[in-house]
Amino acid sequence: MPAISFQTISKAYPSPKGAKSQSSSSPSTPATFLALDGVSLDIEEGEFFGLLGPNGAGKTTLISVLAGLSKPSGGRVSVLGSDVQTDYAAARRKLGVVPQELVFDPFFNVRELLRIQSGYFGVKNNNAWIDELLESLGLADKAEANMRQLSGGMKRRVLVAQALVHKPPVIVLDEPTAGVDVELRQTLWQFIAKLNKQGHTVMLTTHYLEEAEALCGRVAMLKSGRIVALDKTSDLLKAASGNVLRFKLDGELPAELAVQARVTGRIVQFPAHDALAVERYLGAVREAGLLAHDVEIRKADLEDVFLEVMTRHRDPVRSVAPEVVA
């Protein structure tokens, strides 16, 4: 039995006022936007699974459907066999979700919030586990602090603790380290990796692809509401096209070179399938009157794979007929 099962999930929303449906026979029919388009995916018990995609790909919409916060326009979702729509109470007890947004109650301190959260799930005498969460997430010295007094990073730690307070077997992390410091990232991943080794299933969305590469045994890539890649992380890396030429550059690449490169500040990277490609790129840089510093050849990483997959798959039309809107 999968820990999480998405079966042909679709989700449509009304498009902005004035837009027209591209798939409707009537030109005056209001358009609807297809956020998820037939997503099917099983995540097995004990997996550490990565769900990757650019902004607007549908990741948070899929998590909202999983959590029962949004009703799908079509398809079925279950958590350890419990349907999130028809057996929602059982499904939610098995699930802990860390949301992307910082949402908190400003009237309670950290320990009180965790006790209240325990009560939502009918968990009594939970103080020992609450103490362990506070210690493991670096919140022990903030246990009596009001939520309004905490920094953004500390608030995010509390969100993680709230999601875990009822010891759910399935944990969903939606951009848990967005905008937080290195210390929190290390503390969080050590704790989550420990839970995963103990048998908890983890589903992660992140824009930090080095995190996904290090943590996730399997990865799905979502674009425009569709899965465009799904495989073991190691197999995706093996299939990556060759190595990468990386160097620092003082100056701006010519336009014909820039379209082939990934440029981050002074750092320039080119796909290097062989030695001839390396020689060609460096020669073109010299001919442009530029000097490359700190030249190195590295293996392709998950970010390279991600960019290649996103480039290879064009955006489909995401307007649908209004009758599919839930």
How large is the angle between the packed helices 152-164 and 182-197, nearest 10 degrees?
10
pLDDT tier for residue 323 given thresholds of 50, 70 and 90:
very low
Q: Do 199 and 76 belong together in one domain?
A: yes
Q: Do 62 and 20 belong together in one domain?
A: yes
Question: How many separate domains does the chain show?
Answer: 2
pLDDT score recorded for residue 250: 84
Helices (H), the chain: 59-66, 88-93, 110-120, 127-136, 152-164, 182-197, 209-215, 233-238, 255-258, 275-287, 302-312
Q: Please check whether residue 306 lies inside any domain of the structure.
A: no
pLDDT in tens, 229-283: 999 999 998 877 678 899 999 888 888 888 888 888 889 988 887 888 899 999 9
For 151-180, what is the mean pLDDT? 89
Distances (CA, A) of 160 to 75, 184, 217, 249, 278: 29, 11, 21, 41, 45
CB 34 within 8 A of CB 318: yes
Q: Do 231 and 250 belong together in one domain?
A: no
pLDDT in tens, 21-33: 444 444 444 567 8
Q: Do 180 and 290 belong together in one domain?
A: no
Q: Do 31 and 16 belong together in one domain?
A: yes
| Cβ-based neighbour number of residue 110 at 10 Å | 28
CATH number assigned to the domain comprising residue 227: 3.40.50.300
Q: Do 228 and 250 belong together in one domain?
A: no
Angle at 306 between CA 300 and CA 308, to 5 degrees: 80
Question: How far is residue 232's CA from residue 115's CA, in Å, rounded to a whole number?
Answer: 38
Sheet holding 292-299, edge to edge: 262-264, 267-272, 243-249, 292-299
Q: Please check whether residue 89 lies inside any domain of the structure.
A: yes
Q: Cα(first)–Cα(last) distance of the chain, in Å?
A: 28
Q: Please check whether residue 81 lies inside any domain of the structure.
A: yes
Contacts of 212 (CB under 8 A, 6+ apart): 50, 52, 204, 206, 219, 233, 302
pLDDT at 153 over 50: yes
Encoding tokens for residue 105?
Answer: 């109650």
pLDDT in tens, 36-79: 999 999 999 999 999 999 988 999 999 999 999 999 999 999 99
Q: What is the mean pLDDT of the chain?
A: 86
Q: Please check whether residue 158 lies inside any domain of the structure.
A: no
Q: Do 90 and 179 belong together in one domain?
A: yes
Q: Which domain holds residue 258?
A: 243-299
